[in-house]
A and B are shown apart, each in its own frame.
Chain A
Amino acid sequence: MELANANPVVLNPSDLPTRKQHTISQGADGKNASIFTYSVPVNSTDPFFQSASSEASDSDDEYEAEAIDEQEIYDLVATMSDPEHPITLGALAVVSLPDISIRPTIPNRPESPLKTVTVLVTPTIQHCSLATVIGLGVRVRLEESLPARFRVDVKIKEGTHTTADEVNKQLADKERVAAALWNPTLQSFIKKMLETCE
């Protein structure tokens, strides 16, 4: 198979932001979503200005009182690898911390536990044919790892891809995403992307 981008720019892993010691990954099956329910106190009212250091991990209650922030989302997806290269999405700068945001899903219901995670994906080159697969992998990774109260929006970062609207529409379509996961070819692609995640 011909590579869409044979010579991607690769960042030094030590330059990447991380806080991997306490990922909230619950295993690939995502069946433990009930760990985070309505009763979990959300100790962050403004997730946008939360400094990473303020959240020192306490391994005893890592499933309880901890809010999920952008860094955690980043750690979940940055460790995935490109389907073409054995290089992580973080190292390829396909995902980056500033392009991840978490907002309340229902703006005029601040007390609602629903949160929308938006991840903007930057394909390695403008016409990268694998943009959809990468986006799908990111969406699946987050949906399987995050509690059910999170809504996941994965989009192509504006101006970084020639068919961004088309790709975005597919990635936003729950039914197409669900159907794609029955496709053995796509399944193996995603499995490969997840191989580098712990």
Chain B
Amino acid sequence: MASNSNPLDNTPSLRPHTTLHSPTPNTRAWSSRAHPSSAAPLLATAASDKSVHVWDMRDWRLLSTISGGHKRSVRCVGWKDYGRRTKRTRTDTDAGTVGAQEEGQREGQQDPVILATGSFDANCGLWVWNTNNSASEPSQQQVQTVPGSFDEDTDTAEQDFTHTHTPNEADENEEWHFSTLLTGPDSEIKDLQFSPPHYGANLLATCSRDKSVWVWEEVEAEEWETVAVLGEHTGDVKCLGWCGGARTTRAGLRRRLRRRWGEGDADADVDAGGGDEEEKEEEIVLGGRELLASGSYDDTIRLHHDDEAEGDWITIAVMTGHEGTVWDLRFEGHVNLASYPDGTSEEEVIADWEPRLVSCSDDLTVRVWRKELSEKERGEKRMRIAEAKRGQERAGAANGEAAPLQTGFASSRLPSVIRPPTSTEKWVEEASLPGVHVRTIYALDWSAKTGLIVTCGGDGLIAVYRESAASASSAAEDVVMNGTAEHNEQDQDAGDIKKLKTEWRVVAAMEAAHDEYEINHVCWAPVRDQRRQLDAGEVVDSSDRDDEEYIVSTGDEGDVKVWRLPREVLGQIRQDL
């Protein structure tokens, strides 16, 4: 990097979409999360005024404020994800949008909207959205605020939700009714996350300054039990992440592989037919397994899972590269095809792909980690890939050009399921993202939709990174990786994929994104705007909108800001979708 020129000088800026002003200005907001389903277009913000602000993502109005429960700052929020996929055709228009919502609502009808809140008061609360009260059109909704006492000295004025607020007393007029209180950790709750929808159990993980990670299981509706207390960290546990894997379809992977290798003339056909095909086809989950990562003030990242042999949750990996507090981490949820060489089939990708992990730290670095396979695992993977290749060839001979789906073992034995990991794993640092932050990096998110990573920090910067094939010079030294660092060329056989080198670049940035304030949190969020509103500002073509995700940032001044990617970046990523 040149000495005085700023690496961000030629980086396109994010486009501001809207700013959500805190109802209690100049009060720090800690983090925000969007509900994953279009049936519940909600964004929740955890604030140090002891409350949670919930925004309607269709028109960005403040829908409700949940207060009166927690006695100290609310640090984190999480939404229970039921994993319903709203089916959208790739050519959808206004009508398509409405259709998508109806689909979501019909499918999700039985699913209550559940919000978890974690606070410095050491408690975690679960809240259920009262849809009877809230299902009306946004234009008719009343902004209903549950007032709470903000006076620290008058404890009596506060509702103590351990006593006065049992689930049975739920007020019909309340937008949010308090469901469950999870108590146990000794000090501040710093992060929490519900498990991904395809796990065998409904789990919730919380972590605390008391150095522990707690795993809770919903054994019956709204009844939670502690299933594990993991106490191996030697400092506050700052962040958590479940390994949800990547949700995709074979047809989707095939279409993207073709596009990646420039079979451009096929694009139109693939797109037109692709939508239907992808609609019909069953979703597969690659690399998803019951695995929990935690990052800590002790500078390490630990991976934990429920070990069958042990009959208990154990720590199976420790990553020690960071030289400062690990503030946030996330597992990969998007299959990036940039490292796969020309001619790779979707079955080979399915056999090969495993999620990586990204983390950010007080040491000002953002690091990508990957699992290093053991000899045994490498052998198994090679067999799977070889078999995928053979299946491909057989079908190619029989079927001409079209790629088969039902051949070989791929459809029966492949890992759309959760595979039990071996008892210990070795994770190694694969890459360090370009260093653009000059103060602590507080949060990051890895988009499951686009594979882009976004970070924010105390320097007020939001940066967006993209992984793509390395430039010609460095790509000359292609590497055989197949999940291992010291792989010998002679080991190559039918089961090896000769992976290409990739590199991470900053593709978009926003300096002073919250003016002079620090940015505590950043995440990706789906676009739920009512169409007319989005169009009022600018003309947006429907495909643009369909592929898009917002960046949502939360700052020390209490504001939540919603950002769009620069146009040129949207263009770049469209080919990866």
**CB within 8 Å for A178 and B516 given contacts A107-B438, A109-B511, A114-B459:** no
- Which residues in A have their C-beta under 8 angstroms from that of B131? none
Determine how close the nearest CB of chain B comes to the CB of A197; give it in whole angstroms. Answer: 22
B458 to A175, Cβ gap below 8 A?
A: no
* Pair A148/B557 contact, Cβ less than 8 Å: yes
Do the beta carbons of B459 and A169 come within 8 Å of each other?
A: no
B5-A174 in contact (CB<8A)? no
Give the residue of B4, B72, B75, B516 whose beta carbon is less than 8 angstroms from that of A37: B516
Majority secondary structure, A binding face? loop
Residues of B within 8 A of A172 (CB): 362, 440
CB atoms of B73 and A182 under 8 A apart? yes
With contacts A112-B512, A176-B209 known, is A33 near B325, CB below 8 A? Answer: no
Select which of A147, A151, A169, A179 is within 8 A of B325 by beta carbon: A169
- A43 CB–B CB distance under 8 Å: no
CA of A31 to CA of B238, assembled, Å: 28
Fill in one digit per residue for B503-541: 1 if any A CB lies within 8 Å of its CB, else 0.
000000001100111100000000000000000000000
Complex interface: chain A residues within 8 A of B556 (CB): 148
List chain B residues, Cβ under 8 A from A33: 26
Find out whether the CB atom of B516 lies under 8 angstroms from the CB atom of A113: yes
Interface residues of A in 92-143 (CB under 8 A from B): 105-109, 112-114
Instruction: Say yes or no for B28: interface residue by CB 8 A criterion.
Output: yes
**From residue A111, how far is it (CB to closest CB) to chain B in Å?**
11
Which residues of A lie under 8 Å from residue B459 when comparing CB positions? 105-106, 114
Nearest Cβ on chain A to B573's Cβ, whole angstroms: 28
B460 lies within 8 A of chain A by Cβ: yes
With A169-B297, A176-B236, A179-B73 as contacts: A108 and B460 at CB distance below 8 Å: no
| Interface flag for A48 (CB, 8 Å) | no
B64–chain A nearest beta-carbon distance, Å: 24
**B residues 401-452 touching A (CB-CB < 8 Å):** 438-440, 442
Which chain B positions have C-beta within 8 A of A178?
28, 48, 73, 120
Would you call B297 and A31 a contact (CB within 8 A)? no
B518 touches A174 (CB 8 A): yes
Min CB–CB distance B322 → chain A (angstroms): 13
Chain A residues with CB under 8 Å of B175's CB are: none
B352 at the interface (CB under 8 A from A): no
Whether A108 pairs with B5 at a CB distance below 8 angstroms is yes
Contact with A along B78-115 (1 / 0, CB 8 A): 00000000000000000000000000000000000000
Distance between Cα atoms of A109 and B371 in the complex (Å): 38
Q: Are B72 and A182 in contact (CB under 8 A)?
A: yes
A contact residues, total (Cβ < 8 Å): 25
Decide if A149 is an interface residue (CB 8 Å cutoff): yes
> In the bound complex, what is the Cα–Cα distance between A148 and B519 (angstroms)?
12
Assembly CA distance A186 to B448 (angstroms): 42
**CA of A100 to CA of B458 in the docked complex: distance in angstroms?**
21
Does B6 count as interface, using CB distance less than 8 angstroms? yes
Please tell me if B370 contacts chain A, counting CB pairs below 8 Å: no
User: Which of B26, B72, B325, B516 is the most central at the interface, judged by chain A CB atoms within 10 Å of its CB?
Assistant: B516
Whole-angstrom CA separation of A182 from B189 in the bound complex: 13
For B238, the chain A residues whose CB sits under 8 A away are 175
Give the CA-CA distance A31 to B25 in the complex, in Å. Answer: 9
Q: Does B290 make an interface contact (CB < 8 A)?
A: no
Residues of A close to B236: CB separation below 8 A: 173, 175-176
A100 smallest CB distance to B (angstroms): 19
CA distance A179 to B362 in the complex (A): 18
Contacts of A106 in B (CB 8 A): 438, 459, 511
Point out the residues of chain B lying under 8 angstroms from A114, CB to CB.
459-460, 512, 516
Contacts of B518 in A (CB 8 A): 151, 174
Contacts known (A33-B26, A105-B438, A179-B188); A147 close to B516, Cβ less than 8 A: yes
Rounded to whole angstroms, the CA-CA distance of A173 and B361 in the bound complex is 11
Q: How many residues of B contact A (CB 8 A)?
A: 34
Cα-based distance from A37 to B187 in the complex (angstroms): 36
CB A41 to nearest CB in B, in angstroms, measures 15
B190 in contact (CB, < 8 A): yes
Nearest A residue to B2 via CB reads A108
Q: Report the bound CA distance from A195 to B500 in whole Å.
A: 64
With A and B bound together, what is the CA distance between A107 and B236 in angstroms? 31
Q: How far is the CB of A107 from chain B (nearest CB, A)?
A: 7
Give the CA-CA distance A173 to B327 in the complex, in Å: 10
B56-82 interface with A by 8 A CB criterion:
72-73, 75
In the docked arrangement, what's the CA distance between A179 and B440, Å? 18
Complex Cα spacing A34 to B306, Å: 50
B517-A148 in contact (CB<8A): yes
* Nearest B residue to A110, CB-CB: B4
Q: Mark A155-183, 1 if CB is under 8 A from B, else 0.
A: 00000000000000100111110110010
> What residues of chain A lie closer than 8 Å to B511, measured between beta carbons?
106, 109, 112
Determine whether the beta carbon of B4 is less than 8 Å from that of A108. Answer: yes
| Contacting residues, chain A, for B5 (C-beta < 8 A) | 108
Contacts of B438 in A (CB 8 A): 105-107
Q: B539 to nearest A CB, angstroms?
A: 32
Docked Cα-Cα span, A149 to B362, in Å, equals 20
Contact B516 A175 (CB under 8 A): no
Q: When chains A and B are docked, how far (Å) is the Cα of A112 from the Cα of B461?
A: 12
Cα distance A37–B512 in the bound complex, in angstroms: 12
Cross-chain contact A179 with B209 (CB below 8 angstroms): yes
Kindly report which residue of chain B lies nearest to residue A149, judged by CB atoms. B516
Q: Is the CB of A148 within 8 A of B190?
A: no
Q: How far is the CA of A162 from the CA of B458 in the complex (A)?
A: 29
Q: List chain A residues, Cβ under 8 A from B297.
A: 169, 173
Interface string of A39-58 (1 = CB under 8 A from B): 00000000000000000000
* Pairwise interchain contact B439-A105, C-beta atoms closer than 8 A: yes
- Chain B 549-573 interface mask (CB, 8 Å, partner A; 1/0): 0000000110000000000000000
For chain B, residues 203 to 219, give those with C-beta under 8 angstroms from any C-beta of chain A.
209
Do B6 and A109 touch (CB < 8 A)? yes
Which of A38, A174, A182 interacts with B516 by CB under 8 Å? Answer: A38
How far, in angstroms, from A33 to B187 measured CA to CA in the complex? 31
Min CB gap B257→A, angstroms: 41
18 A–B contacts, CB within 8 A, in A order: A105-B438, A107-B438, A108-B4, A108-B5, A108-B6, A113-B516, A114-B459, A114-B516, A148-B516, A148-B517, A148-B556, A148-B557, A169-B325, A173-B236, A175-B188, A175-B236, A178-B120, A179-B120
> 20 extra interchain contacts, Cβ-Cβ under 8 A, other than A174-B458, A175-B188?
A33-B26, A38-B515, A38-B516, A106-B459, A109-B6, A112-B511, A114-B516, A148-B516, A148-B557, A151-B458, A169-B297, A169-B325, A172-B440, A173-B297, A173-B362, A174-B442, A175-B236, A178-B28, A179-B72, A179-B209
**Across the A-B interface, the 9 shortest Cβ-Cβ residue pairs:** A149-B516, A108-B6, A182-B72, A179-B188, A148-B516, A179-B120, A106-B438, A148-B517, A182-B120
Q: Which residues of A are interface residues toward B (Cβ below 8 A)?
A: 31, 33, 37-38, 105-109, 112-114, 147-149, 151, 169, 172-176, 178-179, 182
